[in-house]
Every structure is written in structure tokens, then in C-alpha cells.
Amino acid sequence: MSGSVCTSINIFPDAPAFVPEKLHDCGRRFGLLSSIQLLLEEDCQIARIGERLVVLPIDLDLSEYLNQRIGMVRIDHKYHIRRLTG
């Protein structure tokens, strides 16, 4: 994954331009997974979780969590995702 995706972009037309962020080890994000954009040329995907854009590996399947509130954490270079209720 090259570093060029971490510049200000606007891939979601209804959102202001945000800088996508990569989750560091023990990094967490919580909120509604409202959209996923594949960037094949960068070999990654960008997910909108709450109000933030997060750069994730392209092989991480998020389709079952789309339009649901989730909690995501990265531990030892692995992503753990859970649906949030309530």
C-alpha cells in the first residue's frame, strides 16, 4: 500500500474533504460504517466510520457490517470488528 492515499481527498460527494487515516496498533474506531470505497490502484479500501475515513487492507471484508454501528480495533496487525448494539 503506497503512502499517496493519505492526502486530502473527497471520494464521498456528500462529505467535506477529509484526510484518511490508518489505524495504528491498538488504534480504535467506533460508529456507523456508512460506506466503503475500494482503491484498487492503491491496493486498499477506505471506510467511512462515523465522521472519519479509515484506510484498511483491501482483503478485509466489511460487507456484512455495512450500514451498521461497529467497533473496530487493530491488535498485532490484525483487525477485530464487532457490531455494536444499543
C-alpha torsion angle, residues 60, 11, 14, 48 (rounded to 10): 20
- What's the pLDDT score for residue 56? 96
Cα separation, 75 vs 85, whole angstroms: 22
pTM for the whole structure: 0.77
The residue ranges of the chain whose pLDDT is under 70 are 1-18
* All cell numbers assigned to 86: 444499543
- What's the pLDDT score for residue 1? 45
Domain hosting residue 68, numbered range: 3-83
- What's the pLDDT score for residue 13? 59
Number of domains in the chain: 1
- What's the pLDDT score for residue 2? 46
Residue type, 18: F
**CA neighbor of 30 nearest in space, from 75, 69, 59, 1:** 69
- What's the pLDDT score for residue 60? 95
